[in-house]
């Protein structure tokens, strides 16, 4: 658990799925994902965190953007 974490940067992850639970990141406000090409399902789990205000994708694939826009 990361009770005080407000800013998280994920770079070069090679996983396609990670279930981010709201309880694990209760203060997370900003998520930056860079050069992660298989993160579609991971993004959807972060969207459920109510404190999350910003998601920034850098050099990720188009499916990542589609996953976010479908959820909104």
Q: pLDDT (tens digit, 9 = 90+) per residue, 38-60?
A: 776 677 778 888 999 998 888 87
Q: Is the overall model pTM greater than 0.85, yes or no? A: no
Domains in the chain, number? 1
Cα atoms in the Cβ-side hemisphere of radius 13 Å centred on 9 = 4
Answer yes or no: is 1 within a domain: no
Q: Whole domain around residue 65: which residue ranges? A: 7-71
Beta strands in the chain (DSSP E): 7-11, 30-34, 54-58
Whether 17 maps to a domain, the answer reads yes
When comparing pLDDT for 43 and 5, which is higher?
A: 5
| Count of CB atoms situated within 10 Å of the CB of 21 | 12
Q: Is residue 45 part of a domain?
A: yes
């Amino acid at each position: 658990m990361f009770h005080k974490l407000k800013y998280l940067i994920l770079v070069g992850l090679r996983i396609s799925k990670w279930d981010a639970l709201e309880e694990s990141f209760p203060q997370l406000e900003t998520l930056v994902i860079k050069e992660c090409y298989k993160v579609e399902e991971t993004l959807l789990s972060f969207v459920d965190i109510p404190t999350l205000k910003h998601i920034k994708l850098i050099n990720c694939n188009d499916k990542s953007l589609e996953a976010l826009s479908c959820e909104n």
